[in-house]
Amino acid sequence: MTYRELYRQLMAGMKEAGVPDARFDASCLLEDIGGLPFAQRTRYWGEYVPEPIRFEVERAAAQRMAGRPLQYILGSWDFLALTLRVGEGVLIPRPETELLCEIGAAFIRNSSRPHPQVFDLCAGSGCVGLGICTLVKEAQVTAVELSEAACYYLRYNVANHPDCNVDIVQADILTDSLSIPGMAELIVCNPPYIRTADLDGLQAEVQHEPRIALDGDEDGLKFYRGLTKHWVKRLVDGGMMAVEIGEDQGDDVSRLFVEAGLSDVRVYKDASGLDRVVTGILCP
């Protein structure tokens, strides 16, 4: 079987299985597992695929057709300028979360403090805290994550990016805030925010991700209430809290921010025009 034939086979199988972007996924599998660089693939279309490589690619494609996320199959995923290790037990970094990093980084870049302190809560893979560090080299991040499975990937990713100043604390942000010392110029969080009743209706790929990273309780707002109750007081005067939200949660989260005493509360839209980030400032 040639590379062209294998590519067509992969794409046809994944289309039939309902994979949303079969062309993209087939290209990724050929490149990352099949060793065929995307930019040079037509050069090798007519060459025969070695049997061991074909077997590995077809095995990976079968997993994708069964609904396993492409990111878990590949074992890593790009986020901003980072390549992060991911797998079962950790939330997959998504492009819309880059907006949270960019807003947070822009805020502390304008801070007068030489080494701005950042709390990255519900840190997961570390994409937010590490992402901010790539945008603001002086940032000093404390990444807080409860799940041991997610902490495995968090530790790996932090160790793999030694230029980023990130300390890891394994703790529950809803109950352990007092055990984490210090104050912060910026608190960022991409918490679980999906309503419990909506979890079973999520896409097959999302069903593979850890429920603990998705379930925001009955109304999806459990963690936002916890953030405003326990963590606003950990901001320095003039500090900012920034959170990712579901597309229909802008008004509810903004209200919680205002009730907690935050000012200049804003809702930012992502590249698709959906509400995605809410920010608020703790004024003196």
Q: What is the pLDDT of residue 40?
A: 75
> With contact defined as beta carbons under 8 Å apart, do 145 and 198 qualify?
no
SS3 250: helix
Q: What is the pLDDT of residues 97-118, one digit of tens each?
A: 999 999 999 999 988 778 999 9
What is the phi/psi pair of residue 238, to 5°? 85, 0
pLDDT of residue 142: 98
List of the chain residues with pLDDT < 50: none
Quick one: the chain helix, strand, coil %, rounded to 5?
45, 20, 35
* Cα separation, 64 vs 29, whole angstroms: 10
Q: What is the number of alpha carbons within 13 Å of residue 103 lying toward its C-beta?
A: 24
- 255 with 225: CB under 8 angstroms? no
CA neighbours closer than 13 Å in the CB half-sphere of residue 98: 11
Residue with tokens 């599998």: 29
The total number of residues written for the chain in this structure: 284
- At residue 36, the pLDDT reads 83
Is this structure's pTM higher than 0.75? yes
Give the tens place of pLDDT for each residue, 128-154.
Answer: 999 999 999 999 999 999 999 999 999
Q: Please tell me the predicted confidence (pLDDT) of residue 211.
A: 93
Q: What does 57-78 look like in DSSP terms, one character per residue?
A: HHHHHHHHHTT--HHHHHSEEE
The answer to whether the beta carbons of residues 177 and 230 sit under 8 Å apart is yes
pLDDT of residue 229: 96
